[in-house]
Chain A
Amino acid sequence: MSTQDINVRQKPAVAATGGNTETLLATKALTKNFGGLTAVDSVDFSVTEGEIRCLIGPNGAGKSTLLELITGQLSPSEGDIYFDGEDLTGMETHNRIDTGLSVKFQSPHVYENLTVEENLQVPLQRTDRDTETVLAETLERIDLTEKADVRASELSHGEKQRLEIGMAVTLDPTLMLLDEPVAGMSVDETADVAELIRSLHDDGMTFLVVEHDMEFVRRISDQVTVLNQGEIFRQGPIEEIEADEAVRRIYLGENA
């Protein structure tokens, strides 16, 4: 499959929210080919410190691929990734995490056979933060204090999702990457997660969130980037994006 140039790619307007804020994450001409398929096509993309940037787009737009390129599970065919002034491109995943990234994948990847508390300890013990304090605080935050000693396999889907966000948070990252954090969740569970993200954001954490659920995006987001066929299609404040006819056609139209 080859990509069609229906739309002219827009050069990213870096830091759409304001002039002086610092760019935390930037990709330069990032490209990933799978066989004949170009999943991510020369993407210049950036996340500014302190924002919640949502990445939306139809299925197969390359959102998850972009995330995996940033975490280093995939290596790019071409292009570079910069984070907090460092070039991540050739780095191993574990070294990238050490620069202040943290990630939560689409389907919950918790350690099913470990208890909630042990799950949180796995990432937490890598930091030099105070275990007791952070554990109590995180359990409170993800509302699982009462289930600290329960095996993760016994949690509900929503609880697992919250637990995994909690695990990612214990690393105290500068930038949190979330891949569809509310997929498969009930309305109430979704509201809880939105609340959680907002509160972490208030504490100064920057987010890059890949999301399908526009309702949820509206709840949390400052800034939206639309990805389509591996390319950046539009960027801007949520209201603008929602009002954009072309976006509706490629994205919202598909879901309607």
Chain B
Amino acid sequence: MSESVDAEASVLDRLRGRLEGPNTYGNSLPFWAVFAVVIAGLALYPQLVGVYTVIQTSRYFALAFLALSLSFIWGYAGILSFGQVAFFGVAAYTFGIIGLNFSSATEIMAALVGAILVGTVAAAIVGYFMFYGGVRDTYVTIMTLVIALVLNTFMAQTAGSEWAVGVAQLGGFNGMDIPSLTLGIGQSGFVLERAALYYALLAALVVTYLGLRVLVNSSFGLTMVAIREDEARTRTFGYDVPFVKLVVFTIGGALAAVGGVFYGSWGNYIDPTVFGIAFAALPVVWVSVGGRESLVGALGATVLIERMRTELSSGIGPIGSEWALVIVGGLLLGVILFMPAGVVPTADDLIARLRDRRTERGQSTNTPEEAIE
């Protein structure tokens, strides 16, 4: 082997070392092989299907940020928020408000940054009040849901013309127009829509997913998991638990905000139902079904469940669109009762057990050193 190949291999190894660890599922070469195939397949997807499917799939990708956001805070730090949609929606509205008032490409890019910032700061403020106020467990869950519901009430009554920021009408239940994301400088820009939006979302999602994998497998990730497992004990090792939780919640808010901007600009529209109880339930469904401790599970479940909802919206056989929410609710109920860890962790456990059974008995519990002896 030449030295350059060696060096290359060690860089790859180091990269894998960063991406892999006890806090993520899929720490093997086969996983990365499948991952590469899936990404390649998704990259080719727009060439294979109609524009309608591409646009729909972009929507699933935008929503997947919301799923990553919840999986990150709930699955890793044990903070169950029912209100991630609040930061999602606030960012979407903010993007619309800034984008409608300023329309050049540069300004829309600034709107993107501004909207993510506002969503993130909103999460930081809520997080500060909760975690420094000693608000725990169930109370966090309720508070976050109440915040979303109150935003729902608030936005729903902004139909009047006095509810405007500059030229942007909030529009109450009728919703608000939102410009498309545009990349560029000055007046001319490249508008992200259809396949371009699809690719932008795919790239952003892959980068975010890999980034989160690095983060949860880092020492910060171990801290999050320690807090999830035993908050009091972690404090007595000298950790500033409220601060860590605040940081986690803020990152979660930022992820939701990114999703919100993409979602708003995807449909060129946002309305108060993003703060409503039915929409707020969806991230919890995706993440519970996919497995809260599995980022890849949350991604997969989001795309599949939303795909199913899209299919159902035109009805499948005797099952009309009105059954979609019944199925989604039933799915959530069923998973919590019969598969509490969610699909990916349960499947991973099953595979590990099958593998153990195939190899010689007893070897599985030994340490590597012993196995070599």
Residues of chain A at the chain B interface (Cβ within 8 Å): 71, 73, 92-95, 97-98, 103, 105, 109, 111-115, 118, 121-123, 125-126, 146-150, 167, 171
Contact = CB atoms under 8 A, between A and B. Distances in A.
A149 to B, nearest CB: 6
B234 A122 contact: yes
A131 B158 CA distance: 56
Contacts of B226: 111, 114, 122
B238 A98 contact: yes
A112 B229 contact: yes
18 contacts: A94-B235, A94-B241, A97-B237, A105-B233, A105-B236, A109-B230, A118-B222, A121-B219, A122-B226, A122-B234, A122-B237, A123-B237, A125-B222, A126-B237, A146-B369, A147-B367, A148-B367, A149-B367
B240 interface: yes
Given A114-B229, A125-B219, A125-B222, A171 B370 contact: no
A174 to B, nearest CB: 13
B222 A97 contact: no
A37 B222 CA distance: 40
A219 to B, nearest CB: 26
B229 A171 contact: no
B131 interface: no
Nearest to B239: A94
A121 to B, nearest CB: 6
A114 B233 contact: no
Contacts of B230: 109, 111
A97 B229 contact: no
A73 B240 CA distance: 13
Nearest to A123: B237
Contacts of B22: 114-115, 118
B97 to A, nearest CB: 40
B236 A93 contact: yes
A73 B367 contact: no
B237 A73 contact: no
Given A111-B230, A118-B22, A148-B367, A123 B222 contact: no
Interface in B350-373: 365, 367, 369-370
Given A73-B236, A114-B229, A125-B222, 20 more contacts: A93-B235, A94-B238, A94-B239, A94-B240, A95-B238, A97-B238, A111-B230, A115-B22, A122-B222, A122-B223, A122-B234, A122-B237, A123-B238, A125-B223, A126-B237, A126-B238, A126-B239, A146-B367, A146-B370, A167-B237
Interface centre among B22, B232, B233, B369, by most chain A C-beta atoms within 10 angstroms, is B233
A119 to B, nearest CB: 9
A109 B233 contact: yes
A71 B239 CA distance: 13
Contacts of A125: 219, 222-223
Interface centre among A94, A126, A147, by most chain B C-beta atoms within 10 angstroms, is A94
Contacts of A115: 22
Contacts of A114: 22, 225-226, 229
A113 B229 contact: yes
A174 B276 CA distance: 54
A93 B235 CA distance: 7
Nearest to A152: B229
A73 B177 CA distance: 52
Contacts of A105: 233, 236
